[in-house]
Amino acid sequence: MVPLTQWKDVLELGLHLVRELKLDQRDTIDRWMVFHLAELIDTSENGKTEDERKEARKIAAETILKIWERRSALPGKAYPLARYKDILKILDRVQSDHFPFMPLAKQADVKKEELIGSIYNELLYLFISVLLMRLPSGDKPEKADTAAVNALSEEELKIFIHLSDRYECLRSDFDASNSDSEGDNESPDEKLDRLSHQLLDAITEKLIALRREVEQDSGA
C-alpha cells in the first residue's frame, strides 16, 4: 500500500471516490456526501486564500480517509475488490491459517495427504476460475482506478493482484482457443464449459490416484 501521507495521493483517491459514488447514489445521505466531498476538493485546489485552501485540504483529507475506511461497503466500483465479492466469500469460508491437508508425520501417509491437498486446491481453483470467467466484460480488472488500488492494504493488494493475474491468464487461455478449429464456432459459455471440463479431468485423475492409495493402505 502506498502511504496516504501526501496530499496528491489523497486527492487522487478522493477524485476516484467522487467519480464512482456519483454513479451510484442510493439515498439522500450519499448524494450529500458526494456533493460535500466534491466541494471540499474544489475549495482545496481553488480557494481564494492559502489559509482557505489549507483548511479545505485538511478537512477533505480527513473526509476521504474516513470514507475509505469503510471501502468494502461502498456501492458500485469504488472498492477495487468489489468485483470479486463472490470469490472472496468462498475464500473466506474455505481458507484458514492452517491448511487442513498438510503432510502428516507418518511417512506412509504423505502421498495420500498430498493428493488430498492437491484435490482441495484444484477444486478451489475450479470454483474461482468459473466465477472469474463469469465476470461481466465491464468488470475487467484493468479498469480499476490506480488511486484506489494504491490505497489498498497490503493483504488486499496481494489478493487483487493475484485475482487480476489469474483472470488475465484464464482470459488468455480462453481466447487462445479462437485460433483452433474447435474454438472458432464456440460460444463463450461453450468455451467456459470446456475449460471447466479440463479442470475436472485433472481433478478426476488425482481422485483415481487417491483411490489407489487408499486401496493399497486397506489391502484391497
| DSSP character string of the chain | ---TTSHHHHHHHHHHHHHHHHT---SHHHHHHHHHHHHHHHHHHH-SSHHHHHHHHHHHHHHHHHHHHTGGG-STTSSGGGGGHHHHHHHHHH--SS-TTPPPSSGGGHHHHHHHHHHHHHHHHHHHHHHHHTS-GGG-GGGS-HHHHHTS-HHHHHHHHHHHHHHHHHHHHHHHGGGSHHHHT--HHHHHHHHHHHHHHHHHHHHHHHHHHHHHHHT-
Work out the pLDDT band at 188, boundaries 50, 70, 90.
low
* 113, amino acid identity: E
- Look at residue 6 in the predicted model and tell me its pLDDT: 84
- Look at residue 220 in the predicted model and tell me its pLDDT: 53
- Look at residue 103 in the predicted model and tell me its pLDDT: 44
For residue 175, pLDDT over 80 is answered with no
170 and 133 in contact (C-beta within 8 Å)? Answer: yes
Q: What angle do CA 41, 44, 50 make, to 5 degrees?
A: 175
For residue 181, pLDDT over 50 is answered with no
For residue 96, pLDDT over 70 is answered with no
Contacts of 132 (CB under 8 A, 6+ apart): 87, 163, 166, 167, 170
In this predicted model, what pLDDT tens digit does every residue of 42-71 receive, in sequence order? 999 999 999 999 999 999 999 999 999 999
For 172-192, what is the mean pLDDT? 59
CA-nearest of 75, 79, 85 to 22 is: 75
* 60, amino acid identity: A
Model-wide pTM > 0.85: no
CA-nearest of 162, 164, 174 to 199 is: 174
Share of the chain above pLDDT 90, in %: 25
- Look at residue 187 in the predicted model and tell me its pLDDT: 66
Share of the chain above pLDDT 70, in %: 70
Contacts of 32 (CB under 8 A, 6+ apart): none
For 76-90, what is the mean pLDDT? 85
- Look at residue 98 in the predicted model and tell me its pLDDT: 42
Other Cβ atoms less than 10 A from the Cβ of 165: the count is: 11
Find the range with the poorest average confidence among 8-22, 54-68, 192-206: 192-206
The winner for highest mean pLDDT among 23-27, 115-119, 184-188 is 115-119
- Look at residue 114 in the predicted model and tell me its pLDDT: 81
